[in-house]
Amino acid sequence: MMEKPSLDSSEDRAWLGEGQSETQLTTVAGPDGVETSNEDRPAWDSKLQYVLAQVGFSVGLGNVWRFPYLCHQNGGGAFMLLYVFLLLIVGVPLFFMELAAGQSIRQGSIGVWKHISPRLAGIGYSSCMVCFYVALYYNVIIAWSLFYMGNSFQYPLPWQQCPIDVTINDTVNECARSSPTSYFWFRKALNITNSIEESGEFNPIMTGCLLAGWAIVSLAMIKGIKSSAKVMYFSSVFPYVVLFIFLIRGLMLDGAMEGITYMFYPKLEIWGNMQVWRQAATQVFFALGLGYGSVIAYSSYNPIHNNCHRDALMVSGINFMTSVLASLVVFVVLGFRAKNIALHCVAENLGQLNLMASHESNQHWWPWFNMTDTSSVSLAEYREWYSHYTSMVGPKITDCSLEEEMKKGIEGTGLAFIAFTEVMAVFPASPFWSTLFFLMLLNLGLSTMFGTMQGILTPLMDNFSLLGRHRTLLTVSSCALGFIIGLLFTQRSGNYFVTMFDDYSATLPLIIVVIFETISVAWVYGTDRFLDDIEVMLKWRPPVVYKYLWKYVCPLAMVGLLSASLLRMVFKRPTYTAWNQSTASEMTLAYPGWALAMIVFLIVFASLPVPIGYVHSILKRRRVSSTPSLDGRSQVMHRELYTKCSSVEQMDSSPRRAPSEENDVLPRPAFLSVGNEHYRLLPQQEEEDEEEQDTGV
């Protein structure tokens, strides 16, 4: 251990000029150069409150309707093994990095990366932009959940049967050609157009639900973490209660075990498919909420010696187990649904056979079972008979395969608002199950929305003192702006824009953000210094494996994911799934030119702050360095920038930040304040304050 250097040498002055001031954590310079203390920063009331907030943010709708679909499409158990592997070597290290950075610097995403170097401030602004994109369309999903939950308080459920067209006194054609649940979703809920090019008028009911969604978010966030954390006690725990209830109920359904078997059966050959690796890495990336800035924002309210390493492992583990639990629920429901469809197919085919039997007789291939009592015929019996006489029965008689039905993957809104509603409609006491399910979706969406909004509000309040002094006004204004822009999603073509934002607005910018985050910690600040700072916080040093994961594995994995995503966009023209009203079916359409331009704009606009922040810092440094010294004594400039504070003043200004004696001799320019002597920038050097914090790399 080296002794702490004094300020009497040019080397020491360079250290303080190019590195970080030791007072940086406890007294962070505000946007106008005035130092602000972290003593008045809000804090979590308990560790449980913080864990629920992190779990609530990271566990979202993607765990319920995206992860099960990826398992379904990509080899079941084999995909899970691949997911766990990528989670351990990429997900957990990056999650731990964000937790440690936020906890040590006690700033939002803008302040954290600006603290390492002013040239990196754009990373935080990009995170805020992506958070705003996600908040815009995520709250629309909350609005949909509110709409369905409101329609669940009636019996029978409105999507249980097709409505009657009074003009022809017959079933509505669109519903008859699809299904009651599909008709209710596309026509009653969305009143959707045939393509994104047909905008249509605003959907008044969905507009009202969107307003209600933003009002709930605004009220929950209006007092910062003090108000949102109290809501988290319910919104983070309730979905688990519902998932377990659905799992218990689902295991009693006919076809549940077939669904679970399909889920866990490993198909190891998928490991040779690079697209599966890309999908698994993307799911790890988004499941933990990396790059949004919300993880950093939440951890910045922690006490300095909180064990963030244990938090990273715990939250990542809970997140994965939640995905597995949700997959179990989804697969038992899909197994039940697939078996119902297969048995319905058997009944229809037996009906056709009965018609054929009335015209023909004594055919040697007639089934040996009773065709008149369709309920007594098992699926296995029918399939055994069909396998023997496939070539003789004609085209009207088809195979009825449960496995083929299970292969038809359903994800996203199709899973929640069509497949699940179809199953719940046949449950006894269906309104109860429907209300429970959509209340769960509502809470999953809200807990993620709280974290997303925190990723926007915390950095802005930390870096702009005016906004920090008007927290309530900022929160309400942000929600109002989100509602106004969100009207784009409540027009009849709004669902297509939700798909566009979900597929393209966040993916590439977030990957770029995390790449720069990793480079800034591993290569700009330095992994050894970062581990030193974590050692001061945790009182023990994390394993050295993190050094190599941060420096090599994580950046390479992120660059590979970015390259794969870009290549996929270039070589496979972006498409979306549209609903055709005349055919009552879905079809895949290519985005028109203006929509492609919109996609490019969204990606570029969210990514631009990174290079702009870098160029702005370079230009500002050159402007400052070209300004001649007023007194001609530039050689002693750095020495005059600092004044030593007494230990009494230090204790008065930040009593909670007093370091332990064993750290007094650490010489490094670190995230943390170490030592009993602090140095503070004088007010007259406000203009150069930001540049004094550059790491010099």
Q: What is the per-residue pLDDT for 12?
A: 34
Q: Among residues of the chain, what percentage have pLDDT more than 70?
A: 76
- C-alpha 141/C-alpha 417 separation (Å) is 11
- Least confident span in 363-372, 617-626, 662-671: 662-671
Beta carbons of 212 and 513 less than 8 angstroms apart: no
In terms of pLDDT, which residue wins out, 423 or 204? Answer: 204
Q: What's the mean pLDDT in 157-165?
A: 86
In terms of pLDDT, which residue wins out, 7 or 119? Answer: 119
Bridge partner list, 642: 681
Q: What's the mean pLDDT in 250-265?
A: 83
| HSE-CB of 532 using CA atoms within 13 angstroms | 18
Q: What is the per-residue pLDDT for 396?
A: 67
Residue 26 has pLDDT above 50, yes or no: no
pLDDT, the chain, mean: 77
Q: What is the per-residue pLDDT for 662?
A: 38
Residue 323 has pLDDT above 80, yes or no: yes
In terms of pLDDT, which residue wins out, 115 or 625? Answer: 115
* Sign of torsion over alpha carbons 223, 129, 313, 283: positive
Q: What is the per-residue pLDDT for 669?
A: 43
Beta carbons of 93 and 557 less than 8 angstroms apart: no
Name the pTM for this structure.
0.78
pLDDT band, residue 142 (cuts 50/70/90): very high
Residue 209 has pLDDT above 60, yes or no: yes
Residue 688 has pLDDT above 60, yes or no: no
Beta carbons of 136 and 501 less than 8 angstroms apart: yes
Closest CA to 279 of 58, 127, 93, 66: 66
Q: What is the per-residue pLDDT for 675?
A: 38
Terminal-to-terminal C-alpha distance of the chain? 24
Q: What is the per-residue pLDDT for 412?
A: 66
Q: What's the mean pLDDT in 142-150?
A: 93
Q: What is the per-residue pLDDT for 559?
A: 92
640-677 core/surface letters (b: 16 or more CB in 10 A; e: else): ebbeebeeeebeebbeebebeeebeebebbbbbbbbee
- Least confident span in 215-229, 489-503, 536-550: 215-229
Q: What is the per-residue pLDDT for 285?
A: 84
Residue 22 has pLDDT above 70, yes or no: no
Residue 136 has pLDDT above 90, yes or no: yes
